[in-house]
Amino acid sequence: MANYRGHIRGGFVAFALIIFFAIPHYHPSALTMLEWLLFTIAGSLFPDVDIKSKGQKYFYQIMLVLFVVLALNNHYRQLAVISILSLIPLLVKHRGIFHQLWFVIAVPLAIGYGLSLQFPQLREALLMNSFFFVVGAISHLWLDRGWQILRR
C-alpha cells in the first residue's frame, strides 16, 4: 500500500508507459500531454477519496469550484446532482466501491461518454481524459493490491 506520494509516482509511471507503448504515433501537443498527465495523477489519487487523504482534499476543492461555477451560471439542477454525488465518498467504507476495478473503469468512462454527448465538439478530449483517469485509478489499485485486482 502506497501513500499519496507513492500513488502519484505510480500514476506518473503508468502515464509514461501508456505514452511510450500505446500512443507512440499520436504526437499530441505539450499542453495535451500535460492535460493527460493531470488526469492520470487525479485518477491515481481518486480511489482514496473515501478517506481523509490528499485525494479527498483535492476532490472537494474541485467540487467547491464546480459548485461556484454552476451556481454563478444558474445551473441549479446540475448543482443538485453534483452535490448529492459528492456525498457518496463520505457514506461508503474505505476500500469499498472506490477500490473496485469495475467501478474505476466504468464510472469515469461513463462520465466522459455522457459529457461527450452534451459537448460533441469535445468528444475526443473528454474520452481521452477519461481514459487517462482510468489508467491512474488502476495504477492506484495495482499499488494497493497488485495482481489481486485482476482476480476479482
Say what the pLDDT of residue 145 is: 84
Say whether 20 sits in a helix, a strand or coil: helix
Residues 30/36, Cβ–Cβ less than 8 Å:
no
Say what the pLDDT of residue 2 is: 66
Rounded mean pLDDT of the chain?
90
Say what the pLDDT of residue 151 is: 57
Q: Quick one: average pLDDT of 22-49?
A: 91
Percentage of residues in the chain having pLDDT higher than 90? 60
Residues 129/35, Cβ–Cβ less than 8 Å:
yes
Say what the pLDDT of residue 112 is: 92
Taking only the tens place, the pLDDT of each residue in 62-83 is 999 989 998 999 989 889 988 9
CA distance to 36, 52, 56, 69, 145, per residue, from 104 (Å)? 17, 19, 15, 26, 14
Reported pTM: 0.85
Say what the pLDDT of residue 26 is: 80
Taking only the tens place, the pLDDT of each residue in 96-122 is 899 999 999 999 999 999 889 988 999
Show Cβ contacts of residue 130 under 8 Å, excluding neighbours closer than 6 positions.
39, 108, 109, 111, 112, 113
Show Cβ contacts of residue 73 under 8 Å, excluding neighbours closer than 6 positions.
none
Say what the pLDDT of residue 141 is: 94
Cell of 132: 487517462
Structure-model confidence comparison of residues 148 and 42, the more confident one: 42
Angle at 132 between CA 96 and CA 53, to 5 degrees: 40
Say what the pLDDT of residue 110 is: 93
